[in-house]
Chains A and B, each alone.
Chain A
Amino acid sequence: KAGVTQTPRYLIKTRGQQVTLSCSPISGHRSVSWYQQTPGQGLQFLFEYFSETQRNKGNFPGRFSGRQFSNSRSEMNVSTLELGDSALYLCASEITPSTDTQYFGPGTRLTVL
Chain B
Amino acid sequence: GIQVEQSPPDLILQEGANSTLRCNFSDSVNNLQWFHQNPWGQLINLFYIPSGTKQNGRLSATTVATERYSLLYISSSQTTDSGVYFCAVKDANAGKSTFGDGTTLTVKP
Q: Which A residues fall within an 8 A CB radius of B?
A: 33, 35, 37, 42-43, 45, 48, 55-56, 58, 88, 90, 92, 97-107, 109
Q: Give the bracket for the number of chain B residues in contact with chain A.
A: 20 to 34
Do the beta carbons of A48 and B96 come within 8 Å of each other? yes
Q: Does B99 contact A (CB under 8 A)?
A: yes
Do the beta carbons of B95 and A107 come within 8 Å of each other? no
Smallest CB gap from A88: residue in B: B41
Among A33, A99, A103, A109, max chain B CB count under 10 A is at A99
| Chain B, range 22-47, C-beta contacts under 8 Å to A | 30-31, 33, 35, 40-45
Leading 6 A-B pairs by shortest Cβ distance: A43-B99, A104-B43, A45-B96, A101-B48, A56-B95, A106-B42
Do the beta carbons of A56 and B96 come within 8 Å of each other? yes
Do the beta carbons of A42 and B101 come within 8 Å of each other? yes
Residues of chain B within 8 A of A55, CB atoms compared:
95
